[in-house]
Amino acid sequence: MKRNRGRIVQIDSLDEFDRRFAQGARDLSGWRIMAVDLSQRSRELRAADVAGALFLGCVFDNHDEDSVRARGAVVFPEVPSVPVDTYRTTLYAPDELYDTEDYHSSLDARTYAWSQQNHSIDATLAEALHDHAIDAALAAWVSDRELVGVMGGHAFKRDESTYADAATLGWLLGQRLTVATGGGPGAMEAANLGGYLSAEDADSVEVALATLRRVPRFRPDIGAWSRAAFEVRERNGTGAASLGIPTWHYGHEPPNAFASAIAKYFHNAQREAILLEVCQAGIVFLPGAGGTVQEIFQDACENYYADESAVAPMVLVGGDYWTREFPAWPLLKSLAAGRPMEQHVHLVESVQDAAALVLEGRQ
């Protein structure tokens, strides 16, 4: 997120750099300049006090890079052979990750393959810089939105009623809030689909589901699975905004195409924490396995230590599932007893009830 006041100033465009210089800025201490082409700004750089400035992936002319280093700036150059832009200033769009007809040669697949190779220090640094850049871009994207999370299993198939229910949930929540998920297949894709179509009538969800059912799973052919999603997108246009936060840590889970903005991370632990943090309107937990159970109690830990004003609702869907098959509810209820979070944890039977609970709290 760009800061206009205080010690840290983030600059991610040449226009912003020029604007500040026009206003008389000459002390660049605390500036973080990301992926800006400064090859035509030699005069400005040489007139500035650059001690304490940080240049990330910037382009310089002639000896300007040596000059700013010598005068106390820190410069991180582009890291060669990295398939992604380590200093990007925006989140990914679905078309960007699925940039080829064949998924296995797409940016998403190439990046996962690269991430599994033996890494040098430069490559490890590139991953950290990339995830930092995604953090900044995500902070800017969520700053004027109210997000509600939907968590659930990646194994939901497009031709199952559970998938249709998750899409309905996303559609209901998207009427008032911005839907955020882990950005993968299954329940995550379905919720993003509902959010994507939330400006349309309910029939549009049914029409989309009919198309998607033709390729119910992402295995064995991710390309066919993603093409069905893009067919829905082509028919419906831009759609409403929703967020996906996937990770290359899970290479077997491709990102879904219905999140309009995709904050994809290399490091899963960072991604998990961020996903829970941005869902200030609460989280709905659909049936899932290890990952979803982890997210329930990670969220519960945040709420357990929060004061009343900072507790976010937690809504588990499926009484039998969460009390018998994966009995997270009894433990969650016990944790919440006597705490400010107690009145904010719920177990319901339907996605309609879950949406009503979340939206009732936003009135």
Enumerate residues 6+ apart whose C-beta is below 8 A from 226.
98, 103, 218, 254, 257
Q: Which fold has domain 146-360?
A: Rossmann fold (3.40.50)
What is the block-wise mean pLDDT of the chain (363 residues), using blocks of 10 residues?
55 94 93 91 95 88 92 81 90 98 93 84 88 95 96 96 98 98 97 98 97 95 96 96 95 93 95 93 96 95 91 96 97 96 97 96 65
Helix (H, G, I), strand (E, B) or coil at 62: coil
Backbone dihedral region for residue 183 (phi beyond 0: left; psi -120 to 50: alpha; all else: beta): left
Backbone angles phi, psi at 128, to 5 degrees: -65, -40
Q: How far apart are CA 252 and CA 186, in angstroms?
A: 13
Both tokens of 315, joined, read: 């809504």
Q: How many helices (H) and strands (E) does the chain have?
A: 15, 11
CA 113 to chain centroid:
20
Residue among 297, 362, 361, 306 at smallest CA distance from 333: 297
Q: Under a CB-based contact definition with an 8 Å cutoff, are residues 324 and 347 in contact?
A: no
Both tokens of 259, joined, read: 């999140």
pTM score: 0.85
> What ranges do the domains of the chain cover?
9-76, 146-360
> What b/e string do you get for 167-203 counting C-beta neighbours within 10 Å, with b at 16 or more?
bbbbbbbbeebbbbbbbbbbbbbbbbbbbbbbbbeee
Q: Under a CB-based contact definition with an 8 Å cutoff, are residues 57 and 86 in contact?
A: yes
- The whole-number pLDDT of residue 66 equals 93
